[in-house]
Amino acid sequence: MRLMRLLVAVSVGVLVSVSSLTHGAEGYKAPRGPDGKHPDLNGIWQALNSANYNLEMHTASHSMQLREGPLGPLPAVKTLYLGAVGAVPPGLGVVVGGSIPYKPEALAKKQENQANWIDRDPEVKCYLPGVPRATYMPQPFQIFQNVDSVFIAYQYAGATREIYMDDPGEAPIDSWMGWSHGKWEGDTLVVDVTGQLDSTWFDRAGNHHSAMMKVTERYTLLGPNHMQYEATIDDPETFTDTWTIRMPLYRRMEANAQLMEFRCVEFVEELLYGEWRREPLPR
């Protein structure tokens, strides 16, 4: 009985927290930005969740595969026993509705990707993460908002995005971070992202997309130090319907908060180019 009361209390607390995140913007008037009209999104932000491991709800598990050869900054080894370092933390998921609506053949590819993620995930080789993954990687990013422009810099691998507030037309070429066109809908910054390479993944669980994907992002301040982030995915080649992820982002509050240098490629040089060494590392 005591356990039941505790579970009910926890459930109520979770519902209140979710409700406050969903509806918190209704009574909050965000400070105006440089143009005096729209909310000020300037600052360093970061997601605090396990979405980079898996967008969908998942239990704790061990993701590290046993393999030969180098892995990132690690030397060539025959077997990896990394204990908790190779563990995946549990997560409630960030997909609205719970699951990603894959087509059958695309779901089969996702499952194959997941089984072979250490060889396939572009993050392992330090390729740029794409959108929306750049937002919820476990590293901060900074929004620079001016009178008529918005720019986002990510700590991970020095990735950047310019959000064109005037319609720039179609992307001249597909790229890792895509082509971003922004507009304001009330106090929400809405960004349409197209022209992304199909090589990026959504997470380490093998969730993938095609080059036809369009992402619609929504940034809404809910309070002085947190905002709600949504990204709606439209990709009829891969999914049976559009679907949305939603999560809070938090302002980094350290007195000297800043993006630091993360030269990701230096950590994977052996993985990418080690086979061409004149004298291979001992195994």
Beta bridge partners of 124: none
Q: What's the CA gap between 144 and 152, in Å, rounded? A: 6
Q: Report angle CA 135, 50, 145 to the nearest 5 degrees.
A: 20
- pLDDT at position 62 is 76
Q: What is the pTM for the complete model shown?
A: 0.84
DSSP type of residue 139:
S
- Asked whether residue 53 is domain-assigned, the answer is yes
Alpha helices, DSSP H only, in 65-208?
A: 104-115, 117-120, 133-136
Give the separation between CA 55 and CA 64, rounded to whole angstroms: 18
Domain for residue 20, yes or no? Answer: no
Nearest to 135 by CA among 244, 47, 227: 47
Q: Which two tokens stand for residue 214?
A: 């369009």
Would you say residue 23 lies in a domain? Answer: no
Query: pLDDT 10s per residue in the chain (283 long)?
Result: 454 454 444 444 444 444 444 444 568 999 999 999 999 999 999 999 999 999 999 999 876 554 555 454 444 444 455 677 778 899 999 999 999 999 999 999 999 999 999 889 999 989 999 999 999 999 999 999 999 999 999 999 999 999 999 999 999 999 999 999 999 999 999 999 999 999 999 999 999 999 999 999 999 999 999 999 999 999 999 999 999 999 999 999 999 999 999 988 777 777 777 777 777 776 6
Instruction: Identify the bridge partners of residue 47 per DSSP, sorted by sequence position.
Output: 249
Q: How many domains, the chain?
A: 1
Q: Can you give the pLDDT at residue 279?
A: 76
In-domain check, residue 149: yes
Q: For the chain, how many helices (H) and strands (E)?
A: 5, 13
Reference 229, options 208, 246, 204; nearest CA is 246
**Looking at the domain assignment, is residue 13 inside a domain?**
no
Tell me whether residue 51 is in a domain.
yes
The confidence score (pLDDT) of residue 82 equals 65
> Is 185 inside a domain boundary?
yes
Residue 42 lies in a domain: yes
Cβ-contact 182, 161 below 8 angstroms: no
- Give φ, ψ of 132 to 5 degrees: -95, 0
Amino acid code (one letter) for 184: W
Cα(174)–Cα(194) distance, integer angstroms: 8
Query: What pLDDT is recorded for position 278?
Result: 76
Give the residue numbers spanning the domain of 133. Answer: 28-276
CA proximity to 139, closest of 129, 151, 148? 129
